[in-house]
């Protein structure tokens, strides 16, 4: 069985580690599992590139900027129309070629806006670092996170977030809120939604499960990147991140667990559908 993966690049030409990390995970997954897996990259925001529906799995990346200002733009209209196409296939009982999607950070925020699952708002200050992620009551039924503890750690880098979950919309769409951010007892602020199962086939995270601690540290130590991060997030945040990367065990666990589990589950489901 051959598996085709489309990577939807949402970085709009900006320097990032996400694209390399996702490709590394796919290459390692292919090698470790002896899977005939290929992937293709589509520059959604920069070149208005959208894949067709011939792929089996779609990974839509994080990216910079506001997830609300793109409303009505050509690339976003095309992106949402494409999501509708995938949903149409997944909702058709006659179709066995179901389409699986993983949506990260910026893409996660866009889908939350599309499905009206909460309020997409700008944060008071940037969240940048390695933080604990907390499960909700729906977590126990989620296969992708079956190997994680009650709390696990992930890279979080965002100026925007989705808060105030709309319970009626969650009920209407069948989506499940699986994880939220840490509670900040010193401030009276809504906790951000961190992971959602949008459907049987679509899954998303606000955090970056693809983050590679070794590569991330090397990236941060490069002078050009150091200057960029300090300019964007401040010197204290920069050195705090480097310190956290000195003990990368928990972050490496997240990288090895979440996206690979998603791939395993998608491929297993595809095999069942073929029978």
Give the residue extent of every domain in the chain: 2-212+251-274
Q: Is the pLDDT of residue 203 over 90?
A: yes
Q: Which residues pair with 171 in a beta bridge?
A: none
Q: Is the pLDDT of residue 193 over 90?
A: yes
Q: Which residues pair with 102 in a beta bridge?
A: 59, 203
Cα–Cα distance measured from residue 227 to residue 99, given in angstroms and rounded to the nearest whole number: 40
Query: What pairing do the DSSP bridges indicate for beta strands 202-205 and 100-104?
Result: parallel
Give the model confidence (pLDDT) of 102-133 as tens digits.
Answer: 999 999 999 999 999 999 999 877 777 788 89
Domain 2-212+251-274, CATH number (from 3.40.50.880, 3.40.640.10, 3.40.50.620, 3.40.50.10420):
3.40.50.880
Q: Is the pLDDT of residue 188 over 80?
A: no
Residue 213's pLDDT band (boundaries 50, 70, 90)? Answer: confident
Cα–Cα distance measured from residue 180 to residue 170, given in angstroms and rounded to the nearest whole number: 15
Give the model confidence (pLDDT) of 41-75 as tens digits.
Answer: 999 999 999 999 999 999 999 999 999 999 999 99
260, two tokens: 């690979």
Which are the contacts of 150, defined by CB distance < 8 A and separation ≥ 6? 134, 135
Residue 192's pLDDT band (boundaries 50, 70, 90)? Answer: very high
Full-model pTM: 0.91
Please say whether the dihedral angle defined by the alpha carbons of residues 237, 239, 241 and 244, taken in this order, is positive or negative: negative
Structural contact between residues 229 and 220, judged by C-beta atoms closer than 8 angstroms = yes
Q: Is the pLDDT of residue 174 over 90?
A: yes
């Amino acid at each position: 069985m051959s598996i085709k993966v489309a990577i939807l690049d949402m970085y709009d030409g900006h320097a990032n580690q996400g694209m390399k990390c996702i490709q590394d995970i796919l290459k390692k997954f292919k090698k470790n599992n002896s899977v005939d897996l290929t992937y293709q990259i589509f520059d959604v925001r920069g070149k208005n590139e959208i894949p067709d529906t011939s792929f089996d799995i779609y990974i839509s990346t994080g990216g910079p900027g506001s997830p609300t200002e793109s409303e009505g733009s050509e690339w976003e209209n095309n992106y949402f129309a494409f999501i509708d196409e995938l949903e149409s296939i997944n909702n058709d009982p006659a179709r066995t070629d179901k389409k699986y999607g993983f949506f990260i950070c910026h893409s996660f925020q866009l889908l939350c806006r599309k499905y009206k699952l909460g309020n997409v708002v700008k944060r008071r200050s940037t969240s940048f670092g390695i933080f604990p992620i907390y499960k909700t009551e729906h977590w126990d039924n989620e296969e992708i996170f079956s190997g994680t503890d009650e709390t696990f750690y992930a890279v979080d880098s965002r100026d925007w977030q989705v808060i105030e979950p709309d319970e009626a919309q969650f009920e209407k769409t069948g989506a499940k809120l699986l994880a939220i951010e840490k509670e900040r007892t010193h401030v009276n602020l809504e906790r951000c939604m961190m992971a959602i199962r949008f459907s049987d086939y679509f899954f998303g995270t606000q955090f970056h499960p693809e983050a590679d601690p070794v590569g991330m540290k090397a990236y941060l130590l490069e002078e050009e990147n150091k200057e960029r991060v300090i300019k964007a997030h401040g010197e204290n945040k920069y050195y705090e991140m480097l310190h956290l990367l000195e003990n990368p065990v928990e972050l490496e666990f997240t990288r090895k667990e979440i996206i690979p589990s998603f791939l395993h589950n998608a491929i297993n489901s595809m095999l069942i559908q073929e029978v």
